């Protein structure tokens, strides 16, 4: 990508947001013009030829002992490659380290099917990510109750 001033844009920062999206920030070294692209992991893939790490994921990587870091990097990038994802977030990092996504307890699955469709996809992602973050093998009804209180508590009180 080239700026109107003639310089090429450079990748500046990649921020992770709470809702699972990432903000990819570019800046022009010539004139200082900056812009951001809001995206999620798999949608960002066409933007990069090489795997890139969000600032937070990179920070997690940097905190690892020097002998572990290359192993984790390789493990996560290979997992991301299988999924054709080039933007590596902390969520993807956790997922890779757990070698895949979480299972659903049958009770939790049937409860999810009763969640209104517009909310269901978001709830599924949030629940799986929370389970992965905590190293849980599956999503349970108890976890759903907890998340519901956290995310949907306000609307529940309002109704």
Contact of 17 with 90, CB cutoff 8 Å: no
Cβ proximity to Zn ion, 20 vs 30, nearer residue: 30
Smallest gap from residue 10 Cβ to Zn ion (A): 10
Contacting Zn ion (CB under 5 A), which of 14, 24, 28, 92?
28
Smallest gap from residue 46 Cβ to Zn ion (A): 23
- Between CA 54 and CA 59 the distance in angstroms is 8
Q: Is 34 in the site for Zn ion (CB under 5 A)?
A: no
Cβ proximity to Zn ion, 2 vs 101, nearer residue: 2
Residue spans of alpha helices (H) in 1-159? 41-44, 55-62, 69-82, 90-97, 106-113, 117-133, 141-151, 153-158
Smallest gap from residue 50 Cβ to Zn ion (A): 24
Q: Is 30 in the site for Zn ion (CB under 5 A)?
A: yes
Contacting Zn ion (CB under 5 A), which of 1, 11, 31, 71?
31
Helix, strand, coil content of the chain in percent (nearest 5)? 50, 20, 30
Smallest gap from residue 36 Cβ to Zn ion (A): 15
- Between CA 9 and CA 53 the distance in angstroms is 18
Cβ proximity to Zn ion, 27 vs 85, nearer residue: 27
């Amino acid at each position: 990508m080239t700026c109107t001033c003639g310089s090429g844009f450079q990748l500046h920062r990649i921020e992770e947001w709470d809702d699972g999206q990432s903000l990819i920030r570019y800046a022009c070294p010539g004139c200082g013009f900056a812009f951001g692209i809001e995206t999620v992991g798999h949608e960002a893939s066409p933007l990069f030829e090489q795997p890139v790490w969000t600032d937070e994921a990179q920070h997690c990587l940097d905190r690892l002992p020097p002998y572990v870091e290359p192993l984790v990097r390789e493990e996560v990038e290979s997992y991301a490659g299988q999924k054709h994802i080039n933007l590596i977030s902390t969520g993807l990092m956790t997922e890779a380290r757990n070698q895949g996504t979480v299972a659903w307890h049958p009770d939790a699955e049937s409860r999810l099917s009763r969640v209104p469709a517009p909310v269901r996809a978001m709830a599924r992602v949030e629940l799986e990510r929370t389970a992965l973050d905590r190293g849980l093998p599956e999503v349970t009804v108890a976890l759903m109750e907890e998340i519901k209180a956290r995310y949907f508590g306000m609307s529940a009180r309002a109704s």
